[in-house]
Amino acid sequence: MSLKIAIIGTRGIPNLYGGFEQLAEQLSVGLVRKGYAVTVYNSHTHPFKESFFNGVEIIKCYDPENTIGTAGQFIYDWNCIRDARKRDFDILLFLGYTSSSVWGTFYPKKPIIISNMDGLEWKRLKYSKPVRLFLKYAEKLAVKYSDFFIVDSLAIQTYLEKKYIIFESRHIPYGATIIEKTDETILKHYNISPQNYCMLIARMEPENNIEMILDGFHSSNSTKKFIVIGNTNTSLGEQMHNKFKADERIIFLEGIYDARITHTLKTHCSLYFHGHSVGGTNPSLLEAMAGNALIAAHENDFNKEVLNNDGYYFTTANDVKHLIEQTARGAVEEKMILNNLHKIRNKYNWQNIIDQYENFIVECFNQSVK
């Protein structure tokens, strides 16, 4: 079956940004290899200028977010939807809904609308109360205007069942890639050595609990360093940098998007902290698992669904302090790491994820044409 599939809701591919862009890249290329005609909508600001990426058609739409801020996302999504109305797609796959569902009445009529419902965006503390109320409304609109639903977490699936009486959403998580080789010369570049530093990789946002983690480390008696990878050119980022810059053990490296570097750093750290508390199956957690990292995660349903007993958990800065001072690599910890690698190979691998998306898309199409 050769369906024409369009993916809307990301800044575009190849991935230069985050989780949904990574999914869009892996999924679109994978579906093309299976014989489907796939289109991905890209922001006109995306540096990739070609019309095709590994067989995937790229359509660029005007995106003023860089000049007018968040409102630009709504204009960009409208431009994508308006273009899609002119084309003959069988499937429109929306990755997220925050700035697209408001245009639901304008969705093209022919294609089947499948929405990935993301991770309860209205819970994110970075948003003001009015914005969070709007995001709840946008979620409601996404439910109204979508034909089928994908969730990347069982917790979100349960939420949709209780809130909207949706019992047929399909649970499909993200994937990750295991990279076998590391380059220890990278450690020398940052003046660190194996097992002599902790680290985190995250956007500087309140729900990622960066301050809690760094407070715990700052109060510890550890002689190790702490590597923080994330853009500090934000209000919270500047606040974190100013608060902890006097602690010479804490090193802010800004954003690093070279997987070779981040993989090496994760593999050789003594403890990787994952503070994300909102969202579904978080891509950065899977990537840490694929990177042979020993993980300490914020204790919540999303993280526990993925790690289960194969990680340590924290809810306070004192928990972080205790983990840093008391955790050492032994047989138990090595077993945790191996168990997480097994999950990546057998559950959270991209080919498995692509196959699940294909099966669900075909099921949705067959169900709709009966």
Find the distance separating the first CA and the last CA of the chain, reported in whole Å: 15
Q: Are residues 161 and 45 part of one domain? A: yes
Q: How many domains does the chain have?
A: 2
> Is residue 173 within 8 Å of 353, Cβ to Cβ?
yes
> Residue 318 falls within a domain, yes or no?
yes
> Residue 283 falls within a domain, yes or no?
yes
125 pLDDT band (50/70/90 cuts)?
A: low
Over residues 188-213, the mean pLDDT reads: 94
Contacts of 237 (CB under 8 A, 6+ apart): 204, 230, 231
Q: Are residues 14 and 151 part of one domain? A: yes
Over residues 299-310, the mean pLDDT reads: 94
Q: Nearest 5°: CA angle at 77, between 51 and 142?
A: 125
pLDDT at 81: 98
Name the phi and psi angles at 102, rounded to 5.
Answer: -65, -20
Q: Are residues 353 and 334 part of one domain? A: no
Q: Are residues 95 and 30 part of one domain? A: yes
Q: Are residues 131 and 190 part of one domain? A: no
Q: What is the pLDDT of residues 76-104, one digit of tens each?
A: 999 999 999 999 999 999 999 988 999 99
> Residue 204 falls within a domain, yes or no?
yes
Q: What is the pLDDT of residues 225-279, one digit of tens each?
A: 999 998 888 888 999 999 999 999 999 998 887 888 999 999 999 999 999 987 7
Q: Are residues 148 and 14 part of one domain? A: yes
> Residue 219 falls within a domain, yes or no?
yes
Q: Are residues 223 and 158 part of one domain? A: no
pLDDT at 122: 59
Q: What is the pLDDT of residues 129-179, one digit of tens each?
A: 787 788 889 999 999 999 999 998 888 899 899 999 998 899 999 999 998
Q: Across all residues in the chain, what is the average pLDDT?
A: 93
Over residues 188-215, the mean pLDDT reads: 94
Q: Are residues 158 and 44 part of one domain? A: yes
Element spanning 335, H or E:
helix 331-346
> Is residue 228 within 8 Å of 210, Cβ to Cβ?
yes
CA–CA dist 97, 135 (Å, integer):
9
Q: Are residues 337 and 190 part of one domain? A: yes
pLDDT at 274: 98
Q: Are residues 153 and 26 part of one domain? A: yes
CATH number at residue 190: 3.40.50.2000
For residue 200, what are the domain limits? 185-346
Over residues 193-214, the mean pLDDT reads: 94
Q: How many helices (H) and strands (E) does the chain have?
A: 14, 14
> Residue 197 falls within a domain, yes or no?
yes
Assign 3-state DSSP to the chain and report helix, strand, coil percentages, each to 5: 45, 15, 40
pLDDT at 127: 66
The answer to whether residue 191 scores a pLDDT higher than 90 is yes
Q: Nearest 5°: CA angle at 232, between 231 and 235?
A: 125
Name the phi and psi angles at 136, rounded to 5.
Answer: -65, -40
Q: Which residue has the tokens 């499948």?
A: 114
CA–CA dist 290, 348 (Å, integer):
9
Beta bridge partners of 6: 39, 92
Q: Are residues 229 and 138 part of one domain? A: no
CA–CA dist 40, 56 (Å, integer):
7
Q: Are residues 284 and 236 part of one domain? A: yes
> Residue 15 falls within a domain, yes or no?
yes
> Residue 180 falls within a domain, yes or no?
no
